[in-house]
């Protein structure tokens, strides 16, 4: 430590500034959520969460995540496998496309689906004629969520797969393993922590997504409100305790995600060090 | 099994990795593919293994076209430069992998797998690492495990890609002698890639010298060393000095000096490049009978089997010379001492044009 050139004062000052910012912008808001949620006691908190609309919102959020995350996982593994292990025309284009949802505002992402599947949209008349509901219903919410979470798994896996190269897979092939066995016995175990990490990030985003889902959901209470949308409605209706109770569930999810992420990062580091 | 490649072409983009390469590896032979990086030797090895595909030409295994055979059906054991051990598996599971992934009707029992793995570990003298993970082993140990893993499936051909390239000098020497002994017992057709001429000369039955996607020469180590097909082979297989000179009637005229060249006969004077290995010079303290080049000792390294010296001629050219310890003691060579250089032999001369 003594080898550092900065004088002690500068060090404490820098650390102090960082801590103040951390406290002001992260710890304080987060504790506010829990403080408000419990401000009227346990009973009100529990009751707010037992409200049928809240239960329905939680159920919808979980269903959305349960559909979106596995689909993203399959896509993410396939895309990163293709990008990291093979050289083909359009590889760079695919790589940029994967990043697209990160650079597009979620509201625009939602609007895209309205423009395609909405009543005035591209496929709207056909869908109405065949009585298929996509926007303002579960399918639209799931589609929008998949869109915004698209890059989460792939972005985690591509660098890991690239750094590992192809040699272990090639070795497995020369030893007589089929492509399928090579994938399951060699490729997947080598990226298992990356997959888990990607799932966690993807899940957090899927459950927390507001903008895109807000556009396509139509805010039908008890039907198409996910947890973040439910919170907004409650808050706008001045039911702040109920809003914060619901928010505390999402905040809790964020904290659990953060802990899981830290643990997995440590495991990845240990794996890499070995 | 014999391997034959015929007129193989391979391009990566605009880069010609292999340019009309034909080669036959006899059954039970230990063959080295030797060349600088980018010479196409690894590409050739990977094409034989089925890990890469040639643009045109044929690969024949025992006379049969291997084009339709997938990697897993070719029966090749491939050893990678960086070992490519499965990092999430123990040494035991690594070696057992090839046996365990066989189709059910061919797969040996777990007991037989265990016996085979232990037999291989004994062969490479690493029984005690059976439960370790690759990261717990040294480079030399990992490479031996990689060899054992490749041997477990009884390959018909063993392909080694710079197998000792990332090991330190001592381990490298031990392992290559081990490979030679192993090959003498097992007689499995082996093709190995190296850029280290010493390794190729020491281990291989025959050497294939490659450069820029082409084969420059194929021959026994003795052959390629003593009768190089061209200047590239000569250069690549050890240090060599070269002189621009005029050749005439048993003499090489370098600048103002005439040097006698033993065994040289030219019908008419020629401009030539003369290649001389460091051990083909004779040094003396006096000018001697014939004519000789005068030089001073610029650098001297007597530590080694041979004494290495760098001489600087009067015209400022440097000559790298190797003499025996005995000669060194007789000459009482010291730095900055003047010496006279004559030729004992010449490795190779390349005629540039006929002198008028």
What tens digit of pLDDT does each residue of A61-82 get? 888 888 999 999 998 998 898 8
SS3 B344: coil
- CB pairs < 8 Å spanning A and B: 66
Q: Could you list the residue range(s) of the whole structural domain that residue B249 is in?
A: 241-354
* pLDDT tens digits along B144-157: 999 999 999 889 89
What gap in Å lies between CA B240 and CA B228, rounded to an integer?
12
What gap in Å lies between CA B12 and CA B22, rounded to an integer?
19
Least Cα separation, residue B161 to chain A (angstroms): 12
Question: What pLDDT sits at residue B169?
Answer: 85
Instruction: Tell which residue, A159, A105, A134, has the closest CA to residue A216.
Output: A134
The tally of domains found in chain B comes to 2
Least Cα separation, residue B235 to chain A (angstroms): 33
Given a cut of 70, whether residue A236 has pLDDT beyond it is yes
Is B78 in contact with A181 (Cβ distance < 8 A)?
no
Burial B311-342 (b: 16+ CB within 10 A, else e): bebeeebebbbbbeeeebeebebeeeeebbbb
Question: What pLDDT sits at residue B308?
Answer: 92
Same structural domain, B91 and B147: yes
- Give the phi and the psi of residue B78 in degrees, each rounded to 5: -115, 130
For B80, the enclosing helix (H) or strand (E) is none
Matching residue, tokens 């057992």: B96
Same structural domain, B250 and B197: no
Quickly state the pLDDT bin for A45 (edges 50, 70, 90).
confident
Residues 69-88 on B with a CB inside 8 Å of A are: 70-74, 76-78, 80, 82, 84-88
Whether B352 and B272 have beta carbons less than 8 Å apart is answered as yes
Describe the strand order of the beta sheet including B206-211 as a list of residue ranges.
Answer: B76-79, B157-161, B189-194, B30-34, B206-211, B214-219
Indicate the residue among B210, B236, B262 that finishes a domain. Answer: B236
- Give the phi and the psi of residue A225 in degrees, each rounded to 5: -95, 120
Question: What pLDDT sits at residue A1?
Answer: 47
What gap in Å lies between CA B149 and CA B117, rounded to an integer?
9
Residues 100-119 on B with a CB inside 8 Å of A are: 101-102
Query: And the tokens for B41?
Result: 């030797």
Which CATH number fits the domain A41-273, given the four candidates 1.10.645.10, 3.40.50.150, 1.10.3720.10, 1.20.140.10? 1.10.3720.10
> A23 or A240: whose pLDDT is higher?
A23
Same structural domain, B105 and B212: yes
Matching residue, tokens 């034959």: B4
Question: What pLDDT sits at residue B353?
Answer: 60
For A225, the enclosing helix (H) or strand (E) is none
**Partner residue facing A174 (CB), from B49, B87, B88:** B49
Q: What is the dihedral of CA A208, A210, A211, A214, to 10 degrees?
A: 140
Instruction: Tell which residue, B321, B319, B324, has the closest CA to residue B305.
Output: B324
Greatest Cα pair distance in chain A: 76
* pLDDT tens digits along B218-231: 999 999 988 888 88
Is the backbone of residue B163 left (phi > 0), alpha (psi -120 to 50) or beta? alpha
A-chain CB neighbours of B152 within 8 Å are 175
Each domain of chain A, given as residue ranges in start order, spans: 1-37, 41-273
Is A167 in contact with B84 (Cβ distance < 8 A)?
yes
Whether B149 and A175 have beta carbons less than 8 Å apart is answered as yes
Question: What pLDDT sits at residue B32?
Answer: 94
What is the CATH classification number for the domain harbouring B337?
Answer: 2.40.50.140
Residue of chain A whose alpha carbon sits nearest to that of B98: A175
Distance separating the N- and C-terminal Cα atoms of chain A: 27
Residue of chain A whose alpha carbon sits nearest to that of B136: A274
Q: Indicate the pTM of the whole model.
A: 0.78
Question: What pLDDT sits at residue B356?
Answer: 46
Same structural domain, B133 and B279: no
Indicate the residue among B236, B269, B297 that finishes a domain. Answer: B236
Is the backbone of residue A194 left (phi > 0), alpha (psi -120 to 50) or beta? alpha
Indicate the residue among B236, B269, B299 that finishes a domain. Answer: B236
Task: Report which DSSP code applies to B249.
Answer: T
Least Cα separation, residue A166 to chain B (angstroms): 9
Question: What pLDDT sits at residue B351?
Answer: 63
Question: What pLDDT sits at residue A3?
Answer: 54
Same structural domain, B93 and B195: yes
Within a 10 A sphere around the Cβ of A182, how many other Cβ atoms? 21
Residue of chain B whose alpha carbon sits nearest to that of A188: B88
Instruction: Tell which residue, B47, B24, B41, has the closest CA to residue B81.
Output: B41
What gap in Å lies between CA B205 and CA B219, rounded to an integer?
9
Write down the mean pLDDT value for chain B: 87
* pLDDT tens digits along A182-217: 989 999 888 888 888 888 888 888 888 888 888 888
Cα–Cα–Cα angle for A27, A32, A37, nearest 5°? 135
SS3 A236: helix
What gap in Å lies between CA B74 and CA B66, rounded to an integer?
8
Given a cut of 50, whether residue A231 has pLDDT beyond it is yes
Instruction: Tell which residue, B3, B35, B2, B25, has the closest CA to residue B200.
Output: B35
What gap in Å lies between CA B144 and CA B339, rounded to an integer?
49
Task: Report which DSSP code applies to A25.
Answer: I
What is the CATH classification number for the domain harbouring B58?
Answer: 3.40.50.300
B-chain CB neighbours of A190 within 8 Å are 87-88
* pLDDT tens digits along A125-184: 777 777 777 777 788 888 888 888 888 888 889 988 888 888 899 999 999 888 889 989
**What Rg do the C-alpha atoms of chain B give, in angstroms?**
25
Write down the mean pLDDT value for chain A: 83
* pLDDT tens digits along A7-35: 888 889 999 999 999 999 888 988 888 88
Q: Residues 6 or more apart from B206 whose CB is under 8 A from it?
A: B29, B31, B32, B218, B219, B220, B221
* pLDDT tens-place values along chain B, 356 residues long: 889 999 999 998 888 889 999 999 999 999 999 999 889 999 999 999 988 888 999 898 888 888 778 888 888 899 998 889 998 899 999 999 999 998 888 889 999 999 999 999 998 888 889 899 999 999 889 999 999 999 998 898 999 999 888 788 888 888 888 889 989 988 899 999 999 888 999 999 999 999 999 999 999 999 998 888 888 898 888 888 888 888 887 788 887 788 888 777 777 778 888 888 888 888 888 877 667 888 899 999 989 889 999 999 888 888 999 999 998 898 888 888 888 888 887 777 776 665 54
């Amino acid at each position: 430590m003594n080898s550092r050139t900065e004088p002690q004062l500068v060090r404490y000052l820098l650390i102090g500034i960082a801590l103040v910012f951390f406290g002001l912008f992260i710890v304080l808001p987060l504790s506010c959520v829990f403080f408000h949620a419990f401000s009227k006691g346990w009973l009100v908190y529990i009751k707010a969460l037992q409200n049928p609309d809240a239960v329905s919102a939680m159920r919808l959020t979980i269903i959305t995540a349960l559909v979106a995350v596995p689909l993203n996982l399959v896509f993410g593994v396939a895309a990163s496998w293709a990008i990291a292990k093979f050289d083909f025309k359009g590889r760079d284009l695919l790589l940029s496309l994967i990043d697209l949802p990160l650079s597009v505002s979620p509201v625009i992402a939602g609007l895209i689906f309205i423009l395609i599947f909405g009543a005035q949209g591209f496929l709207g008349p056909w869908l109405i004629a065949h009585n298929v509901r996509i926007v303002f219903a579960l399918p639209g919410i799931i589609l929008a969520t998949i869109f915004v979470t698209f890059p989460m798994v792939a972005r985690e896996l591509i660098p890991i797969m690239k750094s590992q190269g192809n040699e272990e897979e090639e070795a497995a092939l020369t030893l007589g393993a089929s492509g399928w066995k090579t994938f399951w016995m060699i490729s997947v175990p080598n990226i298992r922590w990356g997959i888990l990490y990607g799932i966690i990030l993807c899940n957090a985003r899927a459950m927390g997504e507001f903008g895109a889902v807000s556009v396509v959901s139509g805010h039908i209470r008890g039907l198409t409100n996910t947890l973040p949308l439910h919170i907004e409605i409650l808050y706008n209706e001045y039911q702040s305790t109920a809003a914060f109770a619901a928010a505390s569930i999402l905040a809790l999810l964020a904290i659990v995600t953060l802990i899981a992420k830290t643990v997995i990062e440590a495991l990845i580091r240990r794996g890499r060090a070995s | 099994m014999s391997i034959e490649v015929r007129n193989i072409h391979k391009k990566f983009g605009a880069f010609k990795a292999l340019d009309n390469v034909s080669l036959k590896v006899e059954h039970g032979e230990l063959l080295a593919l030797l060349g600088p990086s980018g010479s196409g030797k690894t590409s050739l090895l990977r094409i034989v293994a089925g890990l890469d595909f040639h643009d045109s030409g044929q690969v024949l295994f025992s006379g049969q076209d291997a084009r339709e055979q997938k990697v897993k059906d070719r029966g090749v054991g491939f050893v990678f430069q960086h070992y490519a051990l499965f990092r999430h598996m123990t040494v035991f599971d690594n070696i057992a992998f090839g046996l365990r992934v066989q189709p059910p009707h061919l797969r040996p029992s777990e007991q037989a797998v265990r016996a085979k793995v232990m037999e291989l570990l004994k062969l490479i003298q690493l029984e005690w690492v059976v439960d370790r993970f690759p990261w717990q082993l040294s480079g030399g140990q990992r490479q031996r495990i990689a060899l054992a893993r490749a041997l477990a499936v009884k390959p018909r051909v063993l392909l080694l890609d710079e197998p000792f390239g990332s090991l330190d000098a001592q381990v490298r020497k031990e392992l290559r002698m081990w490979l030679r002994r192993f090959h003498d017992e097992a007689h499995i057709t082996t093709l190995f890639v190296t850029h280290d001429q010493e390794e190729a000369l020491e281990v291989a039955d025959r050497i294939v010298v490659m450069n820029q996607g082409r084969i420059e020469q194929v021959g026994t180590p003795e052959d390629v060393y003593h009768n190089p097909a061209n200047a590239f082979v000569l250069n690549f297989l050890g240090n060599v000095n070269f002189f621009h000179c005029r050749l005439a009637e048993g003499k090489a005229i370098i600048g103002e000096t005439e040097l006698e060249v033993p065994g040289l006969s030219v019908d008419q004077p020629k401009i030539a490049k003369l290649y001389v290995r460091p051990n083909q010079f004779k040094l003396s303290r006096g000018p001697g009978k014939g004519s000789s080049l005068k030089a001073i000792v610029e650098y001297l390294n007597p530590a080694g089997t041979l004494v290495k010296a760098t001489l600087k001629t009067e015209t400022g050219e440097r000559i790298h010379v190797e003499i025996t310890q005995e000669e060194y003691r007789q000459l009482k060579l010291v730095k900055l001492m003047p010496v006279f250089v004559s030729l004992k032999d010449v490795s190779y001369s390349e005629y540039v044009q006929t002198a008028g």
